[in-house]
Structure 1
Amino acid sequence: MTALPYWRLSSFYLFYFALLGATAPFLALYFNHLGFSSARIGELVAIPMLMRCVAPNIWGWLGDYTGRRLAIVRIGAVCTLVSFSLIFVSKTYAWLALVMALHAFFWHAVLPQFEVITLAHLKGQTSRYSQIRLWGSIGFILTVVAMGRLFEWLNLDIYPVAVVVIMAGIIVASLWVPNAQPENQGNRLAGDGFLLQLRRPGVLAFYACVALMQMSHGPYYTFLTLHLEHLGYSRVVIGMLWALGVVAEVLMFLAMSRILARFSVQRVLMVSFLLAALRWLLLGSFAEFFWVLLLAQVLHAATFGSFHAAAIHFVQRSFGARQQGQGQALYAALAGTGGALGALYSGYSWNLLGPTLTFSIASLAALAAAVIIGIRSEE
């Protein structure tokens, strides 16, 4: 049996999610630094998420059709860096919108295909997925802490340079990873078409919940940093708070194999949705209280950690080997749809309705996901 290339797989997750750590907390801050309004910031942040509605399905189909998933990962990583580097040409709204769309088209090609490669290396040991994926969380933590300090010392004009350096790390990590192909999971699943598997009980409801959950994250990923700055928190403290959330996520990943062995995927998802609804209420109404803010960030263990691990497990068991890429891509696409809607509505409502009502809408979206998964679990 071939040994699991643990560190090679982990290094890729580290750099990939380091890039998310550079964009999720700080991209809106950078656009605010450039002088854009909250509505324009919401639109610019939504563009990469909208690309998740299109790009993963295109690349997912190509990966399933050709089987050359690792080549797609490497090409996507290189094109991500090249297209994002166009940001140095101009800082106008139209040009930045183009840069956001181009780099996201290639960036979102990468992760769904790499997830399939990782699961193929695990050879059915899906409980070990969280042990590899946690390095992505570590990369996120290191980035938000380092960038929080960097932007206290230097002007935000340095931001694009820092992002390009991380993108170069993704390329290097992708070149280090060995290839692997998923094995057939039984004749029925291997032979069934993607649409037929999609119509299996609970699968469409799951994807609807994914979109709602990511929609609920819209205000968090778009405006949390600006929200906390307005409340008087420093960028160093804000970076530490983002890191705290991901530390909680890491601890959850470490525990997920035991949790999924004891509880059903549907039960884990429902609890994650309910805790997300609570978290957004806390952030929208009580973030000026530091202890409440700490609690809200610890809840990231549920709103991302347990949710994502359970969702990956659900997708992996719901699709055959030949449809794994499309299943993961649809997960990314529905997450992108929800995330884009969340960024857009929060961008328009932030000044109009204020943080409290904007986060309350997010809470309702997460609660709706809990209701849907609860109904499906009882059928």
Structure 2
Amino acid sequence: MSLAIRLAILYGTMFLFTGVYLPFFPVWLKAQGLDATEISLVVALSLFLRIVVSPFFASLADRIGDRRRVMVGLAWASLASAALLLAVEGFGLILLVALVLNAVFPSISPLVETIAMRARIDRGMNYGRVRLWGSITFILASSGVGWLLEWNPSSVIGFCLAGALALNVAGAWAMPRDAGTVRRPARRRSQFADVLQIGRHPVFVLFVLTASLTQATHAVYYAFGSLAWQKQGYADSVIGLLWATGVLAEIVLFYISGPLMARFGAVRLLMLAGVAAILRWTVTALSPPLAVLFVMQALHGLTFGAAHLGAVQFVAQAAPPRLAATAQSLYAAMASGVMMGLVTIAIGPVYKILGAHAYFVMAGGGALALAGVMFVALRWDGGLLIPEEEPEDGQAPEKQEGREEMQEGKNGH
């Protein structure tokens, strides 16, 4: 079995869980007796937890040089956490177990993305056609559980979560043993030093903020999109089709992503996402006719898909292999954790006042993200941001990089 097929299976099992968790975990929490405040606390704390935990596990994987082993361990820990959720009761215990689950499962994704992007660079694998299986299983899971809930109690959601994670364990084990292995650093460093080495580079920081803001422009859509469309008088079936249109557009973009990534590159893909965000959210804020709204939903392929492709490609090109998973996790933690969490919390009162016009704020976020990626384009030449080899003992990374640049100047390069 080829690495591409194994990765497609792994993406599929990961997003099978996500397709159950995102739409229906709050429903399960409500069925366990949690009120709205407690549910929001569980969800919000889970988002912010990722900024600390995901980089820790990614740095650990980079340090030991075996990302597959860490990935398999995280998959087993995720399954154990989901199984424990079926046994605990009460807000305190549910919150504790949910935090553990949301610490370990999201930490798998940066490791998988790192392996996939390395396969694209080293073996010419079509990343998008592998990744799209995640979007497909997301649709299958969300629609399938919705169908199950029509004739089953909400408790079935917990069993679906555990079942999806059991398949995820199998998907992780199916990865070849040499997948994600990297040469160990010659000199041992602390995990914090690994994170700091890439995380403090100004271009990387600007990229993380910019790409994360692009994803955070979906905050109104994710939190209040269905509610806004209900107020506009659309039936639930139509709202379901609108959501499906966005995911289908994402799948199409991933399918054709090979030539797009080669032609546009990381920065231009992020620019395209920013422009699409400005257009999509501005028009959506105006409550357009349904036909126009479907067109705007099709732009999800750009506002999410192009931004995601550009981001993972940037990390693959800008971070050396020994820190690739660490860099990928820093972006993932900021994009799906801190930035999305902050914007979602902040946009709640705005939506209460403005209703659908809150999408104008998201269009403004798209404009700010577009400006940020333009600065990235001016500061980044498409290569590594820090040296491939670790700096010599006692020498700071900046000094090592400066010495290499001086040497290049002497050689006339």
TM range (shorter): 0.7 to 0.9
Report the TM-score when normalising by structure 2: 0.78
Alpha carbons 2:59, 2:325 under 8 Å: kept: yes
Tell me what 2:250 maps to.
Answer: 249
Q: In the aligned structure 2, how far is the partner of 1:276 from the partner of 1:143?
A: 27
For the Cα contact (< 8 Å) 1:145–1:236, is it kept in 2?
no
- CA 1:321–1:217 in structure 2 vs 1: closer, same or farther (change >3 Å)? same
Separation in 2, partners of 1:171, 1:307? 28
Alignment match, 2:128: 130
Post-superposition offset of 1:237: 4.6
Q: CA deviation at 1:337?
A: 1.1
Q: 1:301 to 1:373 in 2, by over 3 A?
A: same
- How far has the Cα of 1:372 moved from its partner? 1.2
* TM-score, scaled relative to structure 1: 0.85
Q: How far apart, CA to CA, are the structure 2 residues paired with 1:128 and 1:178?
A: 18
Alignment of structure 1 residues 358-377 onto 2, 5 Å: 358-377=358-377
Partner of residue 78 from structure 1, selected from 49, 68, 76: 76
Change in CA separation of 1:267 and 1:127 when aligned onto 2, cut-off 3 Å: farther
Bigger relative contact order, structure 1 or 2, given CA contacts below 8 A and separation 6+? 1
Which of 11, 14, 30 is the equivalent residue of 1:13? 11
Map 1:3-82 onto structure 2 (within 5 A): 4-28=2-26, 30=28, 41-82=39-80
**158-167 or 147-156: which moved more?**
147-156
Q: Which residue does 1:295 correspond to in 2?
A: 295
* Cross-structure match for 2:113: 115
1:311 equivalenced with 2:349 (yes/no): no
User: Residues 26, 194 of structure 1: CA spacing in aligned structure 2 closer, same or farther, 3 A cutoff?
Assistant: closer
* Structure that is richer in helix per residue: 1
Aligned residue number for residue 181 of structure 1: 180
> Deviation at 1:8?
1.4
How far the C-alpha of 1:92 sits from its partner, in A, is: 4.5
Q: CA deviation at 1:234?
A: 5.4
CA RMSD of aligned residues (A): 3.1
> Aligned AA for 1:369?
A
Three-state SS of the structure 2 residue aligned to 1:26 is: helix
- Partners of 1:202 and 1:176 in 2: CA distance: 36
Contact 1:43 1:347 in 2 (8 A): no
Aligned mates of 1:251, 1:118 — CA distance in 2: 19
Q: CA deviation at 1:251?
A: 1.0
1:337-348 to structure 2, matched below 5 A, reads 337-348=338-349
Q: CA, structure 1 residues 236+162, in 2 after alignment: closer, same or farther (shift >3 Å)?
A: farther
Q: Do the aligned partners of 1:46 and 1:341 also contact (CA within 8 Å) in 2?
A: no
User: CA 1:194–1:31 in 2, change beyond 3 Å: closer, same or farther?
Assistant: closer
Decide which structure has the larger Cα Rg and report it: 2
- 1:260 corresponds in structure 2 to 261
Return closer, same or farther for 1:153/1:234 CA change in 2, 3 Å cut-off: farther
Cα gap change, 1:98 to 1:353, in 2 (>3 Å): farther
Residues 146 and 282 of structure 1: CA distance in aligned 2, closer, same or farther (over 3 Å) = farther
Letter in 2 for 1:78: W
In the aligned structure 1, how far is the partner of 2:104 from the partner of 2:372?
32
State the 1:35 CA deviation: 7.7
Task: Give the gaps of 5 or more residues in structure 1.
Answer: 185-191
SS at match of 2:122: coil
User: Displacement, 1:148?
Assistant: 3.4
Secondary structure in 1 matching 2:375: helix
Q: Percent identity?
A: 27
- Decide whether the 8 Å contact of 1:119 with 1:126 is kept in 2: no
Answer yes or no: is the 8 Å Cα contact 2:4–2:130 preserved in 1. Answer: yes
Cα pair 1:63 1:69 within 8 Å, conserved:
yes
Q: Is the 8 A contact 2:129 2:257 kept in 1?
A: no
| Structure 1 counterpart SS, 2:366 | helix
The structural deviation recorded for 1:294 is 1.7
CA distance in 2, matches of 1:177, 1:338: 31
Shifted more, 339-348 versus 297-306: the winner is 339-348
Deviation at 1:53, TM superposition (A): 0.8
- Give the letter for the 1:210 counterpart: A
Partner of 1:188: none
Q: State the Cα distance separating 1:128 from its structure 2 match.
A: 1.4
Matched, 1:147 2:139: no
**Inter-CA distance 195–126: structure 2 relative to 1 (3 Å threshold):** farther
* Cα distance change, pair 216–38 in 1 and its aligned pair in 2 (3 A): farther
Gaps of 5+ in 2: 184-192, 380-413
- 3-state SS of paired residue (1:108): coil
Alpha carbons of 1:373 and 1:119: their partners in 2 closer, same or farther (altered >3 Å)?
closer
